Structure 1
Amino acid sequence: MSERRGHLIDVRPLTQSPAFARLWLGTLLGGLGGQLTITAVMLHMFALTGSTFAVSMIAFAGLVPMIVAGLYGGMLADHFDRRAVALTAAVIGWSATVALAVLAWTGLVNEWWLYALSILSSAATTVASATKMAMTPTLVGKDLIAPAAALQGITGGIMVMAGPALGGILVAAFDYPLTYTIDVILTLSLFLGLATLPKLPPEGQTEQPGLRSILDGFGFLKTAPNIRMQFLLDIIAMTFGQPIALFPALGVVLLGGGEVTSGILMASIAVGVFVSSLFSGRVVTVRRQGLGIARAIQAFGLATGLFGLVLMGAAFGWSGHATEAHPDIPMIVLACIALALTGATDNVSSIFRQTMLQAAVPDAVRGRLQGIFMVVVAGGPRIGALVTGVLSGIALWVPPLAGGIAIIVIVAVILRFATRFRAYDALEPQP
């Protein structure tokens, strides 16, 4: 492990691995373009249908294909050249965006095209993401896995901060066709990053693609208690700490400010991700990564609970009663601080989880485990949205407050008995 002690992010993966640097920059620009399209598609769907339900169905309709793509793509990454798998998936995703642009320019786009092409793009992105994560240790070496994970947090923070805002501005100023076209152009940078990589076949014995290969990946997971535990803890965090579904209502009925407030709340999470990555210099030197995951998730629960307290204060009028035209600025500021803390703590947990997954899992099965990880990442927030929706019927502040407390308590109970996970040492990574 690195002995680096500075607070700022460790950029050695970029300076010591030109291949990783090109891939990182291509992922950043391509991902930014992807966020433009995601935002544009949601706005386009609402413009065509006038239905919030139709917009929400974009994410729901893509869930099963995303799960299948994660599992299938991980299997392919453990058999074929990972560069070729990621490049093929990127081409498919890019083609879907090209089709969106063409349909928009010709005026032939409708809601069914938006659904179909969004699903295709989401599935392709899942395959490409799982494959790129599986190849990271080969590109940077095991000593730089943690700094590479922190750098990937930087890309995620920038994409989520800037992408939706830019997407909304571009749609408002130039309409949908040009917005989709900009994504088509930005994604070309991802091709450059992938095409210039060396061949990256998986190390060790590979298996023929098929259901047996996928089942063998789950079979390995049965023998990997530390990886299972980090998946479980992440699901707990996402199930009880996912307040994003509340944001539209908060801007209208509780904090005021309407859609602007909802957008600011969303951006606050990304700010936390970005800042925590920027100052991750000491985070990446932590050896007890299992304990680090648990403590980071408990801190995430605390921040989520604080967000719930802020909403409770707004509901009881601690600083006055807001309306859509007259937002409650003090409470919005406090809510943004709490949400930034959720983004920061979740990102710290993600750095530890990615490092453990990439260092402890053998290369020959890493693609399949990354695929399962993508399923966890995709499924957890959707379960959380359902829990939030149910509890919000009591009051809008109940889901984050109760959820934050639940996260802290459940993780504490699990950690008490997970002695092997607590003792995990990054110098001797064991799955």
Structure 2
Amino acid sequence: MTATGTPARGPRILADLTPLRLSAHYRRLWLGNTVSWIGQGMTTLAISLQVYDITRSTFSVGLVGLFSLVPLIVFGLYGGAVADTVDRRVLGLWSAAGSAGLSAALAAAAFAGFHHVWFLYGVVALQAVCAALNSPARSAMIPRLLPPEQLPAANALSSMTMTSGMLIGPMLGGLIVGYGGYQAAYVIDFAAFGAALYAMWRLPSMLPDRDRAKGGRASVLDGLRFLATRPNIRMTFFSDFCAMILAHPRALFPAVAGLWYGGDARTTGLLVAAPAVGALLGGVFSGWTGRIRRHGAAILLAVAAWGTAIAVFGLTRNLWLGLLFLAVAGWADTVSMVFRNTMLQAAAPDEMRGRRQGVVLVVRAGGPRRGAVLARVVAGVTTPAGA
């Protein structure tokens, strides 16, 4: 029998939707997060296009990522500590409302013809602050809404949310900006936050255990000390760093597209999209993850698969084979993320879950950027294939 009381029908292949059926709170949270992620993907592209339209400078567009990265790193750990101190529902509600308000400000400025690049940079930085407060609170809620055996399925569904936002959001953003202007993309993003706000509003109070036990004090240093005493959790971060820093080829895609495949910007777009497509398929066909018990071994195998796929991609000169191995790498990344998040959610006590997610946010924000720098340096000293 399955968790819902229906007869088992053999090994599951497609994503396990049991968490969506089991908990109405989780279902609303997942749907709201999915809709808002797509809206944020639209806004991210729209801001980059608007900055380029104002400055005609690719360097200025690159600064958009910097103004987003620094607040995520600075406030990531702090946001996790706050999530272990206050009602997570209230924190999630107010931080989502802040993001919605910033989208409204972007729309109002676009309607008014207020096109100033520093205004856009400021909004991007404030959006990152809201995300740094929202993400730890939202992630820490999930183990309170679902039983432990449903966490792998929930994390697979979350991977589909993130990948959909990265794929669908920019595509819709480009179409909407083309037909309706920047203001249309920002208005739709503002409306999309309504789903996330409704989901947060319907949640019960989410006070962390630490509030009840130790008077509501949560230290970032206490969270780091906790990680120092948990080698299994610590190794999940170490393995993730290895994958992101030592084998992250995205910065080389523009050069690779021309040198290896004789392509152009469209070829670069295919290279960028291939890992995301693989990651989405990894979430869609994730039903088997619920049967795995040795999550640490699964993480190491997935990281090894990621590195192997990237290395083979560096050896092939056939575009379609290259795209295939990049998709395999994206699939492996999803598998690693599912089991890594499950371990972190299950192994960390409730009063540490916010800070744990804050560390995840900092690692995921900083790791790929360091990997991009390393890839460029190694490619400059050797070749892109050597990197």
- Give the TM-score category using the shorter length: over 0.9
Aligned to 1:426: none
**1:45-124 → structure 2 map (5 Å cutoff):** 45-124=51-130
Q: Which piece of structure 1 moves more, 91-100 or 61-70?
A: 61-70
For the residues of structure 2 that align with 1:342 and 1:244, how far apart are their CA atoms? 12
* Matching residue's letter, 2:188: I
Query: Deviation at 1:264?
Result: 2.0
Query: Deviation at 1:261?
Result: 2.0
TM-score by length of 2: 0.93
For the residues of structure 2 that align with 1:157 and 1:264, how far apart are their CA atoms? 15
Contact 1:75–1:368 (CA under 8 A) maintained in structure 2: yes
From 26, 29, 51, the equivalent of 1:23 is: 29
Is 2:304 the counterpart of 1:304?
no
From 121, 124, 129, the equivalent of 2:135 is: 129
Where does structure 1 lack aligned partners over 5 or more consecutive residues? 314-330, 400-431
TM-score by length of 1: 0.84
Aligned to 2:344: 357
**Count, aligned residues:** 378
The Cα offsets for residues 63-84 of structure 1, whole Å up to 9 and x where unpaired, read as: 2211122111111111111111
The Cα offsets for residues 365-421 of structure 1, whole Å up to 9 and x where unpaired, read as: 11111111111111111110111121222333332xxxxxxxxxxxxxxxxxxxxxx
Is 2:381 the counterpart of 1:398?
no
Aligned to 1:377: 364
For the residues of structure 2 that align with 1:206 and 1:163, how far apart are their CA atoms? 42
Aligned to 1:179: 185
Aligned to 1:275: 281
User: Residues 304, 41 of structure 1: CA spacing in aligned structure 2 closer, same or farther, 3 A cutoff?
Assistant: same
* Matching residue's letter, 2:385: W
Is 2:326 the counterpart of 1:339?
yes
For the residues of structure 1 that align with 2:136 and 2:264, how far apart are their CA atoms? 36
Query: Deviation at 1:278?
Result: 1.2
* Matching residue's letter, 1:130: P
For the residues of structure 1 that align with 2:44 and 2:353, how far apart are their CA atoms? 29
* Matching residue's letter, 2:384: L
Query: Deviation at 1:104?
Result: 1.2
The Cα offsets for residues 154-176 of structure 1, whole Å up to 9 and x where unpaired, read as: 11221112111221222222221
**1:215-226 → structure 2 map (5 Å cutoff):** 215-226=221-232
* Matching residue's letter, 1:184: F
User: Residues 247, 337 of structure 1: CA spacing in aligned structure 2 closer, same or farther, 3 A cutoff?
Assistant: same
From 327, 348, 366, the equivalent of 2:335 is: 348
DSSP-derived class of the 1:255 partner: coil
Overall identity of the aligned pairs, in %: 38
Contact 2:246–2:374 (CA under 8 A) maintained in structure 1: yes
Query: Deviation at 1:37?
Result: 0.5
DSSP-derived class of the 2:287 partner: coil
For the residues of structure 2 that align with 1:208 and 1:340, how far apart are their CA atoms? 45
CA-based RMSD of the aligned residues comes to: 1.8
The Cα offsets for residues 187-221 of structure 1, whole Å up to 9 and x where unpaired, read as: 111111111111111124245457xx111111111
User: Residues 225, 307 of structure 1: CA spacing in aligned structure 2 closer, same or farther, 3 A cutoff?
Assistant: same
User: Where in structure 1 do 4 or more consecutive aligned residues deviate above 6 Å?
Assistant: 1-4
User: Residues 264, 58 of structure 1: CA spacing in aligned structure 2 closer, same or farther, 3 A cutoff?
Assistant: same
The Cα offsets for residues 222-252 of structure 1, whole Å up to 9 and x where unpaired, read as: 1111111110110110001211112333445
